[in-house]
Amino acid sequence: MVRQESDSLVLRPTRAGLHEFTESVESWLASTGISEGLLTIFCRHTSASLLIQENAASAVGRDLQRYFARLAPESEVYEHDDEGPDDMPAHLRSALTQTHLSIPVSRGRMVLGTWQGIFLFEHRRATPERRVALHLIGE
């Protein structure tokens, strides 16, 4: 019978950029006993975001960070800068990536491809604790 589980993770990024937390999600998934279903990860912030990306080559993460730094740069003039020059670029980079990810679960595992990992994309230089909600429905 279909049932639900939910929880939250606290992530503590130590710098701006990509931080993989696939293993934390896998551990939680295993603890639920649900083997078939849909897992949703939701980032409760507007200056950090989520991304599924290549988990093997760390250069991909560095290239991604540099690319988004150019695409939504600090150097531009923004109306909103209440929390400093990295405030509005953080909102823009979040808007261009994901606030939530939904991943099917099959045989007790997320159906991630071989090279896919789950990342928090931290956009602020001062890196506060980040809270991520987890939801799983299945059986």
One residue of 16, 25, 29, 88 binding a copy of itself per CB under 8 A: 88
Compare residues 30 and 57 and give the one whose CB is closer to a copy of itself: 57
Q: Is 138 left (phi over 0), alpha (psi -120 to 50) or beta?
A: left
Shortest distance (Å) from residue 62 CB to a copy of itself: 6
The answer to whether the beta carbons of residues 102 and 38 sit under 8 Å apart is yes
The answer to whether the beta carbons of residues 25 and 118 sit under 8 Å apart is yes
Q: Is residue 3 involved in binding a copy of itself (CB under 8 A)?
A: yes
Question: Token digits for 76?
Answer: 């531009």
Q: Where are the alpha helices (DSSP H) in 16-119?
A: 22-32, 58-71, 87-96
Q: Is residue 24 involved in binding a copy of itself (CB under 8 A)?
A: no
DSSP 8-state assignment for residue 85: T
Name the residues that contact a copy of itself, by CB under 8 A.
1-4, 6, 8, 36-38, 40, 42, 44-46, 51-54, 57, 59-60, 62-64, 67, 71-72, 78-80, 82, 88, 91-92, 94-104, 106, 111-113, 115-116, 131, 133-135, 137-139
